[in-house]
Amino acid sequence: MSEIKQLEADYLIIGAGAMGLAFADELLKHDKQASIVFVERRGMSGGHWVDAYDHVKLHQPAIAYGVNSLELSESKTDLSSRPQIIHYFERISKNLVSTGRARFLFKCDFVGEQPLDKGAIATVASNIDEGVSYRIHVKRKIVDSGYMRVEVPAT
Ligand SMILES: Cc1cc2nc3c(=O)[nH]c(=O)nc-3n(C[C@H](O)[C@H](O)[C@H](O)COP(=O)(O)OP(=O)(O)OC[C@H]3O[C@@H](n4cnc5c(N)ncnc54)[C@H](O)[C@@H]3O)c2cc1C
């Protein structure tokens, strides 16, 4: 049996990796009204870091990585490890949800969009509940943060 859930938001962000979270972090800071729905194929935030091998580290000091509202590490020169980075992305996501203006649809795929005069209707499919999909009225923009198409050896 199929079920279509209806949602509404100003922005739909495809992907909850570094790029999508950084965009949302700034957006919610500067626009006090904006609401966001994230659609993420993986089961949690963090993008490719979710699947990376545990021994993989950042290539640069922690101070230069992440979102503007939260530091990745107290030691600014750290080359952070995957577990540290995953924990960091979790904290960012909780902060975004705590604003009451962001929600995450994990294990879901962005399927497509139907443009409207203003905004669009996005279709999103659940990867765990067969037959469940979302019809999301996006009032402003659909933002594809998976644009870089990052791939890691672990996958
Ligand atoms: C091993 C490694 C080390 C790195 N080190 C550094 C570093 O030190 N400093 C630096 O600046 N950069 C580094 N990078 C670059 C890195 O790619 C970025 O820093 C950043 O993590 C990438 O984030 P992203 O959001 O662009 O992509 P991703 O992390 O790939 O996130 C995109 C997300 O979009 C989701 N997605 C895509 N399409 C869909 C869809 N249709 N429906 C639902 N979800 C979708 C994917 O599941 C994914 O989770 C490194 C990269 C790698 C691989």
The CATH number of the domain where 102 resides is what? 3.50.50.60
Distance (Å, whole) CA 116 – CA 141? 11
What would the pLDDT profile of 82-100 be if each residue is shown by its tens digit?
999 999 999 999 999 999 9
- Per residue in 25-57, pLDDT (tens digit) is 999 999 999 999 999 999 999 999 999 998 999
Q: Which atom of ligand 1 is nearest to the CA of 48?
A: 29
The verdict on residue 136 lying in a domain is yes
To test ligand 1's pocket by mutation, which of 12, 57, 59 has the most ligand atoms within 8 angstroms of CB?
59
Residue 40: which domain range?
3-144
Using DSSP, how many helices (H) and how many strands (E) does the chain show?
2, 6
User: Could you give the C-alpha distances from 25 to 51, 62, 73, 135, 152, in angstroms and in order?
Assistant: 23, 18, 17, 24, 25
Q: Which of 150, 151, 152, 155 to mutate to test the pocket of ligand 1 (most atoms within 8 A of CB)?
A: 150
Q: How many domains does the chain have?
A: 1
Of residues 57, 58, 59, 85, the one with CA closest to residue 71: 85
